[in-house]
Structure 1
Amino acid sequence: MRWPELPLLVRYVLTELLVPLLLWVVFLFLLLFVMQFLRGTEVLLGSAVTPWDFLRLVVHLSPHLLVMSLPVGFLLAILLGLGRLGEDRELLALLSLGATPWQLARVPLVVGGALGVLVLLLASTAEPWGLKQVKVQVSEVIKKNVLGDVRPGVFYEDLTDLTLYAQEVDRERGVWTHVLVHDDRDPRAPLLVLAHEGTVNPSGRGASLAVGLKSGEVHRAEHTGTDYAVLTFRDGSLSIGVEDSILRKNHFRSPKEELTPRELLAAASEARAAGKSPAPFLTAFHVRLAQGLTPLAFALFGVPLAMSSRVARTRGYLLALGAYVAYYVVERSFENLGTAGRLAPWLVGLAPNLVFGAFGTWLFVRLTRRGLVA
């Protein structure tokens, strides 16, 4: 079966769009990743981080970064692609041959619709999954870094109310020799744990490190009295909480973005059943769905800017960057109103796209009436 060949005009405009789109998306993807990396340097530059950890983080963050970079990359691609056609007078030539502005605009609109479907699919499936994996992975890396920071013969005091000491540290096997742990989490009765050997495994879910101890004793003293107890053991297990460290160092947490649309609706139902407001979850649900309309709204806004006169087009690049910032400011403002229950959640999701889409449509109608200026 042979696919029908696209018209020459469509193929030409499509080529002018897709190449800049790819370049802008790659650039923005790398820029956003560098920004995320700088936020998490305390974790990602830890003593126990491996290249495999770094690669997994890139893979898990990719859907989230694509959801962020595709719409704005598409807007800039429209300005660069159609703007170049205008700079070289190719738009005037096409219009003089009978092409209409709407015929030129249909390609960006179709591409915007296709990108919207892709963004919606990523935001509904791959992005929540990736962010959940990032949360788990970063917690594991933080726990591995804690282990990697324990030096032989040096007291480790970075954990809240805990002091660790090991005379010898075997990082490959995860074994500590001649272990001392001072546990002051219960200030009324602090514990001193001494053991001949400790085995640590940072893998697994949760915010605690389980240390298996062998041949040791536990000293417990009461601050308010004179009681002092000593217990000996052959095998034991000590849970070292690293919750504070994880909360302090994990800058990759995005609670609502980690939920799929179905999970957001379930969370809203649970909140309603518990007598709480479901507005935050319903707002997040509708904002998530509305992300699929963002590329289309940007197409409606960007095409008339790119097809304007040279002076207006130069101003259009600045307007586009300002529009991108304004779009997310408007979106965030509406989202705050929706979260507070002051605005219907469905309107919160649609409002930014409706505002920018309507403004872009007005610009396009104005352009078709006035005509393209050389």
Structure 2
Amino acid sequence: MFFEVVPPFLAALLFLTQLFFVARLLAQADVIFGSGVRLVDVGRILLFVLPSMLSYGMPIAFLLGILIGLGRLGDDREITALAATGHGPQALLATPLLLGAVLTAVMLAITTYVEPKGMLNARLLTSEMIKRNLAGNVKPGVFYEDLSDLTLFAGEVDQKTGALRSVLVEDARDPKQPILVLAPAGRLDARGPGGALTLELEGGELHRAQPRTDDYAMASFERARVAVVAGDEISRKNKMKRPGEHLTPPELLADADYWTARGKDVRDRYVEYHRRFAHPFVMLALSVVGVAVSGSASGRRKGGRAKAFAWTLGSVVAYFVLGKVFATLGSRGTLPAAIAAWAPVLLIAAMGVLLLEWKRRRGEAA
């Protein structure tokens, strides 16, 4: 049975991973296809978000693998022969449960460590790509206004080196004392601290208006470095910022305790903490569901596979909908965080057990 279940599971997992990655690409298309992004950056993003895709794709692929694998046994009349010997659907549970246990252990490693570390790296890399895009989007002869309260103009731009010529910068962060900077040469560097870029200017002049007078101050400089804060722009474009997704369970708990002590409602963090441990066990629950409904997914024609897809879609959608509903209840304090996290898994497992018992009583094979 192992070789009947594993190949369709791996094929489905590969397909779902590709599908989820395309969805990620489309969600961040304005960043990933920006002027400052290299092909290696796309590969690194794929590597960093892969654990997150696996945590969602593995349950779907596993259930589909069980249904297709056991459906093939049904097509070969092996399940019918097993039923003729007096064995019910429970006799088929051993291999799916063993695979489910192995995948649960893999999922625990993913959700508790690999996924949050990957999402942290993905968030940092995405911010760096956004900064490089901002630096690379400066066009010659065009006023560039995507840098917080700064307006940048360059008469010439070297697209290879990023060097600027005939630079004008208007700083309106203090409306009462706007600053105008003129420089013959400069460069906008994406390697600034945190959410900032660095604007380097050479041999320029600074003009500053004086409040309540018509005078202004002027100063010249040989070299100047200005930190250009672009945090708002980075935050707006970076879609990888779901609260807590980059924190490991101990970090989540510490973060939740920290904000709770300061009066902030962060019950959603506690729910997420428990979900990291509960979600992997859905593999065991789905192994029971898969065996319970596998008899409905057999058939030599396309109808058998169609039923397998229908059962997979229905079960997984039910699980994720329940997860969303119970997470909301936990975040509102209606349910304890642990119950809100474990309830969807336990309900899916209960559904599988009830279906198995129903089939046993009817004397049907799985």
If the TM-score is normalised by the length of the shorter chain, which range does it land in?
over 0.9
Distance 1:309 1:35, change over 3 A: closer
Is structure 2 residue 279 aligned with structure 1 residue 291? yes
Q: Which amino acid aligns with 2:333?
A: G
User: Could you tell me how far 1:239 is from its partner in structure 2?
Assistant: 1.5
Counterpart Cα distance in 2 of 1:27 and 1:75: 14
Distance 1:86 1:204, change over 3 A: farther
Counterpart Cα distance in 1 of 2:47 and 2:239: 17
Identify which range, 323-332 or 161-170, moves more after superposition: 161-170
Counterpart Cα distance in 1 of 2:37 and 2:168: 25
User: Could you tell me how far 1:35 is from its partner in structure 2?
Assistant: 0.6
User: Could you tell me how far 1:180 is from its partner in structure 2?
Assistant: 1.2
> Which residue number in structure 2 is paired with residue 135 of structure 1?
123
Is structure 2 residue 164 aligned with structure 1 residue 176? yes
Query: Gapped runs of 5+ residues in structure 1?
Result: 1-12
Identical columns (%): 39
Counterpart Cα distance in 2 of 1:280 and 1:274: 16
User: Could you tell me how far 1:316 is from its partner in structure 2?
Assistant: 5.5
Counterpart Cα distance in 2 of 1:211 and 1:346: 49
Counterpart Cα distance in 2 of 1:223 and 1:85: 85
Is structure 2 residue 346 aligned with structure 1 residue 368? no
Match of 1:82 among 61, 66, 70: 70
Match of 1:281 among 246, 269, 286: 269
User: Could you tell me how far 1:168 is from its partner in structure 2?
Assistant: 2.6
Match of 1:216 among 204, 209, 212: 204
Counterpart Cα distance in 2 of 1:111 and 1:271: 40
Is structure 2 residue 83 aligned with structure 1 residue 95? yes
Does structure 2 retain, via aligned residues, the 8 Å contact 1:308–1:367?
A: no
Counterpart Cα distance in 2 of 1:244 and 1:298: 42
Counterpart Cα distance in 2 of 1:305 and 1:115: 20
Counterpart Cα distance in 2 of 1:118 and 1:49: 32
Identify which range, 336-345 or 276-285, moves more after superposition: 276-285
Counterpart Cα distance in 1 of 2:107 and 2:344: 16
SS at match of 2:146: coil
Aligned runs of 1:194-213 on 2, under 5 Å?
194-203=182-191, 205-213=193-201
Superposed CA offset, 1:42-68 (max 9, x none): 001111211111111111111111111
Match of 1:270 among 252, 255, 258: 258
Q: Which amino acid aligns with 2:231?
A: E
Is structure 2 residue 151 aligned with structure 1 residue 163? yes
Counterpart Cα distance in 2 of 1:27 and 1:200: 41
Aligned runs of 1:65-80 on 2, under 5 Å?
65-80=53-68
Does structure 2 retain, via aligned residues, the 8 Å contact 1:136–1:205?
A: no
Is structure 2 residue 184 aligned with structure 1 residue 192? no
Counterpart Cα distance in 2 of 1:49 and 1:365: 55
Distance 1:301 1:373, change over 3 A: closer
Superposed CA offset, 1:223-261 (max 9, x none): 754342212112211121222221221122222111100
User: Could you tell me how far 1:333 is from its partner in structure 2?
Assistant: 0.9
Superposed CA offset, 1:94-131 (max 9, x none): 33356552231111111111111111101111111111
> Which residue number in structure 1 is paired with residue 344 of structure 2?
352
Superposed CA offset, 1:310-363 (max 9, x none): 599655532331221121111111111111222101101110011110011010
Does structure 1 retain, via aligned residues, the 8 Å contact 2:319–2:344?
A: yes
Is structure 2 residue 38 aligned with structure 1 residue 50? yes
Q: Which amino acid aligns with 1:352?
A: P
Counterpart Cα distance in 1 of 2:192 and 2:204: 25
> Which residue number in structure 2 is paired with residue 336 of structure 1?
328
Aligned residue pairs, count: 362
Query: Gapped runs of 5+ residues in structure 2?
Result: none
SS at match of 1:150: coil
Identify which range, 181-190 or 357-366, moves more after superposition: 181-190
User: Could you tell me how far 1:286 is from its partner in structure 2?
Assistant: 0.4
Greater RCO (Cα-Cα under 8 Å, separation 6 or more): 2
TM score, norm. by length of structure 2: 0.92
Does structure 2 retain, via aligned residues, the 8 Å contact 1:308–1:372?
A: no
> Which residue number in structure 1 is paired with residue 292 of structure 2?
304
Does structure 2 retain, via aligned residues, the 8 Å contact 1:131–1:254?
A: no
> Which residue number in structure 2 is paired with residue 4 of structure 1?
none
Does structure 1 retain, via aligned residues, the 8 Å contact 2:88–2:364?
A: no
Does structure 2 retain, via aligned residues, the 8 Å contact 1:308–1:373?
A: no
User: Could you tell me how far 1:296 is from its partner in structure 2?
Assistant: 1.1
Identify which range, 188-197 or 339-348, moves more after superposition: 188-197
Does structure 2 retain, via aligned residues, the 8 Å contact 1:139–1:250?
A: yes
> Which residue number in structure 2 is paired with residue 7 of structure 1?
none
Does structure 1 retain, via aligned residues, the 8 Å contact 2:286–2:349?
A: yes
Identify which range, 58-67 or 221-230, moves more after superposition: 221-230
